[in-house]
Amino acid sequence: MIDDAIRVLAGDCTVIAEDADRSEYRGRVTTIVKPDNTVLVHDVDGYQPVAWLTRADSVSSDRANDFTLVAKKGTQTLRIAAHDQDGFAHYPASAAGTPVGACPDCGGALVRSSGVHCVGCGDRYGIPSDATIREERCDCGLPRMRVERGLAFDVCLDRSCESLDDAVREAFDREWDCPEPDCDGELRILRRGGLIAGCEHYPDCDTGFALPAGVVDGDCGCGLPTFETGTGARCLDATCGRVGEYRVEAGVDD
């Protein structure tokens, strides 16, 4: 498990990078070890590190004599020995993101970055990538979000408080017939990684379609609904070529 902390070693150090060849440096540098074991050694010049190792397989430390950090990845080794140590510390770290409000539990900042998390207590909430975070707050104190899955749904970003799945299911479960010939099934709203409309007769019928990010705006020529999305109209079946046929018949320009 990755430790959510950034380790920092500063001082007069010898830096040795070894792979097919060997490079050695010495100076007053600052070494940063990120939570994913990426090691960056910075000196006073420029923005580019003097030496680095991306996502090392292992990073170990030896406090005997000169304080030493050793990072290894395959055939690559990066050694940093501190002859005169200015400091070594662990600092708590998190992903940085766009502020979206305050955490109702601890008062810390809620930020959006691959979901929403609290910078203070670390609470995390998974949300759809296309969700829009709103200024309005749920009764639980968390922000609400707008997500388009056939309709525009307004729900709490904590799915245990208010479920997007339940809202979509209430609106569209069994709303459409399975388009497979000789199948009398209806499409159920299911979660299979994301939300899908899948035939109720699975596994005998494995017909299923991922629900697009958009709102239903009519019927396709194949009988399934069409969605108005950020990139234009499309059928629930992303492989269907009859969307244009429907829109011409309906008098709508593509």
pLDDT at 243: 65
Q: Does the pLDDT at position 235 exceed 80?
A: yes
pLDDT at 41: 97
- How far is it, in rounded angstroms, from Cα 230 to Cα 126? 22
Q: Are 69 and 80 in contact (CB under 8 A)?
A: yes
Can you name the residues that pair with 199 across neighbouring β-strands? Answer: 187
- Number of other residues whose CB lies within 10 A of the CB of residue 66: 16
Mean pLDDT, residues 100-126:
94
CATH architecture, range 5-92: Distorted Sandwich (2.70)
E strands within 93-213?
A: 98-102, 109-112, 116-118, 124-125, 132-137, 143-150, 152-156, 187-192, 194-199, 208-210
The encoded tokens of residue 220 equal 């396709």
Q: Does the pLDDT at position 253 exceed 70?
A: no
In the chain, what percentage of residues exceed pLDDT 90?
A: 81
Mean pLDDT, residues 17-44:
96
Q: Does the pLDDT at position 200 exceed 60?
A: yes
The full set of domain ranges for the chain reads 5-92, 98-169, 173-249
Mean pLDDT, residues 192-209:
94
Q: Does the pLDDT at position 105 exceed 90?
A: yes
121-149 confidence digits (pLDDT tens): 989 999 999 999 999 999 999 999 999 99
pLDDT at 252: 46
Q: Does the pLDDT at position 66 exceed 60?
A: yes
The encoded tokens of residue 114 equal 């691959």
Mean pLDDT, residues 200-211:
95
